Amino acid sequence: MNSNNIFRPAGSEKAITGTGLRHAGRVHANLHAPELIGHAIRREEGALSSGGALMVRTGLHTGRSVQDKFIVDEPSTRDGVWWGAINAALPPESFVRVCDHVRGYLEGQELFTQDLYAGADPAHRIRIRLVTTHAWHALFARNMFIRPPASELAGFVPDFVILHAPDLELDPATHGVRSGTGVILSLEQRLVVIAGTQYAGEIKKSIFTVMNWLLPEQDVMPMHCSANIGPGGDVALFFGLSGTGKTTLSSDASRQLIGDDEHGWSKDGVFNVEGGCYAKVIGLKREAEPEIWDAAHRFGTVLENVVADRDGVPDFMHGGLTENTRACYPIDFVANASPDGQGGVPRHVVMLTADAFGVLPPIARLTPAQAVYHFLSGYTARIAGTEKGLGKEPQATFSACFGAPFLPRRPELYGEQLAASLARTPVTCWLVNTGWTGGPYGTGRRIALAQTRALVNAALDGRLDDVPFRVEPHFGLSIPTHVPGVPDSLLDPASTWAEPAAYSRAAADLAARFEKNFETFREGCGPEIREAAIRPPAS
């Protein structure tokens, strides 16, 4: 392939403007998917699957490097950052050394740049310029974010720049970081530096962190959630951590998909932050998730750490490299995707948890105060087989706002935004357990996807509006007594256990975990939220 003859869209001559790079070798600016895939094959970055997707491996890092994330400690932003384990501080002088090192490495190399948007609503949009040494990472970003029309590239000036050097290791002694990997955000300089990791999710989540910083100042609530629209124009939000079904449940052929992961909620409605999907595909089956299956077999999709046979046929059941296998594709690969990535004010908010202890009901209606409480809690449970290093017993996980690693500000601020958003217009809130019933993981069974879909569809379609509810004693949750198409026995988790006393002990234990976790936020919450908090029953 003669890359000198490849079409270069308008704006390529300014490809490194605003990045701090003084010069570069060959620069491939704003190439489309076919050109980027051609370069990736030429450079041996990946190979094509039998369906045409680009299959890549990320080496040592198959997920986010949580302990290697830093925010630069700068005077203009210092007081607003939620410092601690989530957002470690990097001194400005260390960041200068990091930037000099990374820019020195990038200068003179073959580079790939992409000019993209984050934010489907033009009123709340930022312009991003990615500079990377890998063609496949440029394709990932092009799939993941919003692609401007050619007419808007000529005068493109980035609001934020990402300097991406996946093969370059940092020196902890020189650069003040923890390891050879660094994901560093300067909110003052509007610059993201990523080095020492090929895992592409760092690109996506660094910009989400940026939006979580910017949008609250615009009276917009940033959300780690998926969103879709019903036939009547009703918008539903789906909050949930990895493995809870956020992407799966929002990808419904009967509803229009706004987006699968990151959104903003303004007074005018909901908008997608991104222009693509990053679906977890371990265990992917066509009959259960046809929209994701079809997208994962298309030319232009990136398959990350998915194993294939000699003929290039992906094996989505194989987690030999990692359980965190992913497919990244433009959202228009989903047939029923919203063309503009926007919808009206939400009518339903669904909070998802995969409770591996088997004690939460499969669906419950929440009051607004309970919704804010569960939002701040961000509960799910991890099990062996979904993440490395887990033992045989489930592990409770609490991630504030269902996305603590991406929160640059304190969680209570986002909780206050949710409370204000729920107060502006009538919204029905639900807690949906996609985890276990009849006992914990290893004893009970996982709730069937078909049953979860039936429960969610009944809630969104209004078929639970006139159904009687009862309040269960352990978590104060309102449970419907009947849902069409679902056995009544499934709705009451206690009745599915062989030993009622064992259920009560397990429920009390989980309630105590909720109570302990809430101590972190109690002082920053109002009386309604504190009153809605879960407490273990008095012994």
Is 64 flagged in the annotation as binding?
Answer: yes
Catalytic residue among 28, 61, 204, 246: 246
Is 535 flagged in the annotation as binding?
Answer: no
Cα separation, 514 vs 370, whole angstroms = 13
Instruction: Indicate if 224 belongs to the active site.
Output: yes
Cα separation, 80 vs 407, whole angstroms = 11
The conformation of residue 486, written as its DSSP 8-state character, comes to B
Is 247 flagged in the annotation as binding?
Answer: yes
Q: What angle do CA 160, 165, 170 make, to 5 degrees?
A: 110
Catalytic residue among 14, 103, 142, 224: 224
Is 246 flagged in the annotation as binding?
Answer: yes
Catalytic residue among 124, 127, 326, 374: 326
Cα separation, 305 vs 302, whole angstroms = 10
Catalytic residue among 164, 261, 322, 353: 261
Nearest to residue 175, comparing CAs of 65, 77, 72?
A: 72
Catalytic residue among 65, 209, 247, 428: 247
Instruction: Indicate if 247 belongs to the active site.
Output: yes
Is 248 flagged in the annotation as binding?
Answer: yes
Contact 521, 376 (CB under 8 A): yes
Catalytic residue among 64, 129, 297, 348: 64
Helix extents (H) in 51-167: 92-106, 135-144
Instruction: Indicate if 250 belongs to the active site.
Output: no
Instruction: Indicate if 297 belongs to the active site.
Output: no
Cα separation, 175 vs 204, whole angstroms = 24
* DSSP output for 371-385: HHHHHHH-EEEE-BT
Is residue 425 packed enough to be buried (19+ CB in 10 Å), middle (13-18) or exposed (0-12)?
A: exposed
Is 267 flagged in the annotation as binding?
Answer: no
Is 203 flagged in the annotation as binding?
Answer: no
Is 463 flagged in the annotation as binding?
Answer: no
Is 452 flagged in the annotation as binding?
Answer: yes
Cα separation, 92 vs 270, whole angstroms = 36
Catalytic residue among 147, 205, 280, 474: 205
Is 240 flagged in the annotation as binding?
Answer: yes
Is 243 flagged in the annotation as binding?
Answer: yes
* DSSP output for 341-374: SEE-SEEEEEEEE--TTS-S-SEEEE-HHHHHHH
Is 241 flagged in the annotation as binding?
Answer: yes
Nearest to residue 131, comparing CAs of 115, 113, 117, 143?
A: 113
Instruction: Indicate if 470 belongs to the active site.
Output: no
Instruction: Indicate if 97 belongs to the active site.
Output: no
Instruction: Indicate if 205 belongs to the active site.
Output: yes
Q: Point out which residues pair with 271 in neighbouring strands.
A: 264, 342
Instruction: Indicate if 504 belongs to the active site.
Output: no
| Strand 221-229 to 262-266 pairing | antiparallel
Question: Which helix H or strand E contains 397, and what residues bound it?
Answer: strand 395-398
Is 447 flagged in the annotation as binding?
Answer: yes
Is 224 flagged in the annotation as binding?
Answer: yes
The conformation of residue 77, written as its DSSP 8-state character, comes to T
Cα separation, 342 vs 498, whole angstroms = 47
Task: Extract the tokens encoding 49.
Answer: 């699957």
Instruction: Provide the annotated binding site for substrate.
Output: 64, 199, 205, 326
Instruction: Provide the annotated binding site.
Output: 64, 199, 205, 224, 240-248, 261, 289, 326, 446-447, 452
Instruction: Provide the annotated binding site for Mn(2+).
Output: 205, 224, 261
Instruction: Provide the annotated binding site for ATP.
Output: 205, 224, 240-248, 289, 326, 446-447, 452
- Point out the residues that are catalytic: 64, 205, 224, 242, 246-247, 261, 326
